[in-house]
Amino acid sequence: MQEPNLQYLTVGGPAAKTGAPRRMAYWDWACTSGQTDHIVVCVHGLSRQGRDFDTLARTLSERARVIAVDVAGRGESDWLADPMAYQLPNYATDLAALLMHLRAQAPSAAIDWVGTSMGGLIGMAIAAQPALAPRRLVLNDVGPVVQWEALQRIAQYLGLNPSFESEQAAIDYLASISTGFGPHTPEQWRALSAPLLRERDGRWWLHYDPAIALPVKALVSMDDQAAAKQTARDGEAMLWQLYDAITARTLLLRGQQSDLLSEATAEAMGRRGPKARCVVFAGVGHAPTLVADDQVHAIRDFLWSD
């Protein structure tokens, strides 16, 4: 079975808001047919990492090179010195550096973007910039409006930094806080969970910086909840501006039971900006894991179509 190569790109530095130079990791899946004219960049959700895309990458790598990123503070990427720097503009700056690196390697290649949740928001920021914009954009269960209740739910478990007596106990925990992913086999839960875990001193730990939670918790725990919701609305206005500036052909995926991307927002995304075509998956909330055949095929058919 094909496996990716782990690569690193140096990002940050004196001019960056994220401090000293550091390493951003990405998993590089070579195209099995030898084609060099198509690259698909995949970016994960808030507390996840690049190996989430293994199933999708094995399919897409039949025709494209697939790059699955570990965003700062996750997976094999370095952690940030300032926890409050774990925010969308800084992530977008890192990914812009990666896109420029990929374009330097293959100037004539078409580059597409697949982003789940946070990875979709980063993709919107990238796609709104003509010099960086991908050819095609897949937004997985995310849009300019992030439901307040979903933020509160995520804040309840994000950054808790639990440890477990066994790998299976850790996998069971991750499954328990990921019911929105929909039904999966035990093997699928293991494949999705094992890359998130590290053993240390006889215990199993989640392998991300717990401080990634601080910006989210700072927002939802503000004493003045009216001011917090206004801050969120201001952020939504900015995201709508980005979305409306996108010209790339766009596919929107939505879990039918999603508490983060509402049906109303998905419908608005079909009318505005790039007028995304929406595919809805029954029995799934936030967010489709892109493991099931129908989810993989929806992306494959979109990216491979004329």
Retrieve residue 64's tokens.
């494209």
Round to whole Å and give the CA distance between 256 and 253: 9
Burial class of 86 by CB neighbour count within 10 A (0 to 12, 13 to 18, 19+): buried
Kind plus residue range of the DSSP H or E element containing 236 = helix 225-244
Retrieve residue 48's tokens.
């996840």
Instruction: Tell me: pLDDT of 4 over 90.
Output: yes
pLDDT at 231: 77
One-letter amino acid for residue 289 of the chain: T
Instruction: Tell me: pLDDT of 19 over 80.
Output: no
HSE, CB side, 13 Å, CA atoms: give it for residue 246: 34
Retrieve residue 200's tokens.
């240390």
Instruction: Tell me: pLDDT of 225 over 90.
Output: no
Going by pLDDT thresholds of 50, 70 and 90, the confidence category of residue 223 is low
Q: What is the pLDDT of residues 234-252, one digit of tens each?
A: 889 999 999 999 999 999 9
The three-state secondary structure class of 135 is coil
Retrieve residue 211's tokens.
């401080």
What average pLDDT is seen over the chain?
A: 94
Q: What is the pLDDT of residues 274-297, one digit of tens each?
A: 999 999 999 999 999 999 999 999
Burial class of 74 by CB neighbour count within 10 A (0 to 12, 13 to 18, 19+): buried
Residue 193: CB atoms within 10 A of its CB come to 20
CA-nearest of 219, 201, 278 to 88 is 219
pLDDT at 219: 85
CA-nearest of 44, 99, 51 to 72 is 44
Q: What is the pLDDT of residues 73-85, one digit of tens each?
A: 999 999 999 999 9
Beta bridge partners of 204: 164, 199
Does the domain at residues 5-304 carry the CATH identifier 3.30.420.40? no
pLDDT at 306: 81
